Amino acid sequence: MKKLDRYIIKTFFGPFLFIFSVLFFIFIVNIIWTQMSQLTGKGLTYWEISKFLFYLGINVVSMVLPLTILLSSIMTFGDFGERYELAAMKAAGISLVRVMLPLFVTVSFLAGILFLFSNNVIPDFQRKAKNMMFNIISSKPAINFTPGVFIDQISGYSVKFDKISGVNGEKLEGVFLHKNASPYDDQQTIIATTGKFAPAVDKNYLKLILYKGYVFTDNITNKPYEERKKQPNQSIKFDSLVNHFDISELINNAIEKEKITDDYRFQTYTEVNETLVKNRKGNVATMNSIASPIISQTNNYVEYIDKTKTKDKIKEPYKIDTLKKDKKLEVLWNAYNKIDALKASVDSSENAINDTVKLHNKIVMYQQRIVSYSFTCIIFFLIGASLGSIIRKGGMGLPVVISIIIFIIFYVLNLTVENLSWKGDMDPYLAAWIPNMVLFPFSLWLTYKALTDSQLFDIEKYKALFKPIIDKFAKPKEHQRYQ
């Protein structure tokens, strides 16, 4: 490696390490901002909170590294231009391509490291984060409850605790539980002075022991309205009462409704391939189960028509206008019910199909982004190096503004195609690569402009271009005479 190459790489890594640290800190603060309200005051130690946030924070490296490369490239080549080092290199016969080459190799190496990191390290830390959340919910169930607020996180019940205390948030005061039932089902409300959470044998259940309270019940199921009005309220006083609540849904929600040991986000690129094969087989079975009832009904009707061998034309059984009023209303009501049931079946099938398509496209986009973000690093380097050599401004001023604008464009493209893919309006393989496909020609165009010493950001050039138009509409100023 020549001295010039070492100098260019050394100059690049100065702002690179600083910017990476700052951006990583900003992204971590964003995670803290969204997660801290759910973790603080719940009996967790600072070490547990810090470890959990660190596990979540590792995932942001895939977004931080491309942005860092973009900003560092602009600043490095901007500094070269501002200090006239780039002009001195060109005067010595060193082309811009030769100046960019050592950093291009370095960024390519960083892109390879990002692929390995996204493929092997990030899935492992995601697994640790989800497992840690599962353990927190299982061992510290009060983490999901806020004192003095009604919540419905326990399936089938609305719950309120006036006060939550204890090392793990297991001690309760002022317990109120109301069963979420329809007006035609048994109503039940439980009130207790104190209570506590206790470990259950099955982690999918929450064990709640209540002390000194009442159980209020209205037994009205399958009873006519008049009898329900006469049904007396029942109250049972208790010294202690043990309830087991099914919190499997709560746990699934906490881990984003995915099984903790079998999630595509915990897998490498090749493992996701196997998941996609299994998922496609499951999708075929799901689609067949959705289509079977409709196909069966249609085939039965067609088969009936085919078996009916008659030369006579099929006649209407009756004309609805000839029926009596009551009979006519009955026929119309039955027809309405059949159409309504058919619409409900179609809506239900559509939702099931949309969920199936969304999950499949999510898996595909996750897999493709493991690779696509590595190419984003190279594209951002070409954009950054070219812009830096054109604007010839270093520091944290204009380069930061330009970098943020480019990254926002990339981020908005990412979100847009992601939403289109989830809805089934775009192929997920194409959606994962569209941001790169849009920015790559732009990077080549900027590189060409940089190689030809284009005055792309020269304000005087644009003023001269629009000067005839401005002069045409601007009024000439009169000279003032001095006395």
pLDDT one-digit tens code per residue, 431-471: 889 999 999 998 898 888 888 876 665 555 555 666 677 66
Percentage of the chain lying above the pLDDT 70 cut: 72
- Res. 255 pLDDT band, cuts 50 70 90: very low
Instruction: Indicate whether 369 pLDDT > 60.
Output: yes
More confident residue, 470 or 251: 470
CA distance 109 to 97: 18
Instruction: Indicate whether 259 pLDDT > 50.
Output: no
For the ranges 202-211, 233-242, 313-322, 333-342, which has the lowest average pLDDT? 313-322
CA distance 156 to 198: 20
Confidence (pLDDT) at 304: 47
For the ranges 121-125, 233-237, 397-401, 407-411, which has the lowest average pLDDT? 397-401
What is the tens place of the pLDDT at every residue in 189-218?
Answer: 889 999 988 877 776 777 888 998 988 887
More confident residue, 19 or 311: 19
More confident residue, 376 or 453: 376
- Res. 133 pLDDT band, cuts 50 70 90: confident
Instruction: Indicate whether 296 pLDDT > 50.
Output: yes
Instruction: Indicate whether 147 pLDDT > 50.
Output: yes
Span 312-316, average pLDDT: 56
- Res. 257 pLDDT band, cuts 50 70 90: very low
CA angle 246, 250, 251 (to 5 degrees): 100
CA 242 to chain centre: 39
Confidence (pLDDT) at 483: 47
Please check whether residue 180 is in contact with residue 156, taking contact to mean a CB–CB distance below 8 angstroms. yes
For the ranges 9-13, 328-332, 395-399, 424-428, which has the lowest average pLDDT? 395-399
Confidence (pLDDT) at 50: 81
Confidence (pLDDT) at 143: 55
CA distance 35 to 56: 10
Span 269-278, average pLDDT: 84
Instruction: Indicate whether 306 pLDDT > 90.
Output: no
Give me the long-range contacts of 53-59 (CB less than 8 A, separation at least 24): 53/28, 55/125, 55/126, 55/128, 55/129, 55/132, 56/31, 56/129, 57/24, 57/27, 57/28, 57/31, 58/121, 58/122, 58/125, 59/122, 59/125, 59/126
List CB contacts of 269: < 8 A, sequence separation 6 or more. Answer: 119, 367, 370, 371
- Res. 153 pLDDT band, cuts 50 70 90: low
Percentage of the chain lying above the pLDDT 90 cut: 9
Instruction: Indicate whether 56 pLDDT > 50.
Output: yes
CA atoms within 13 A on the CB side of 468: 1
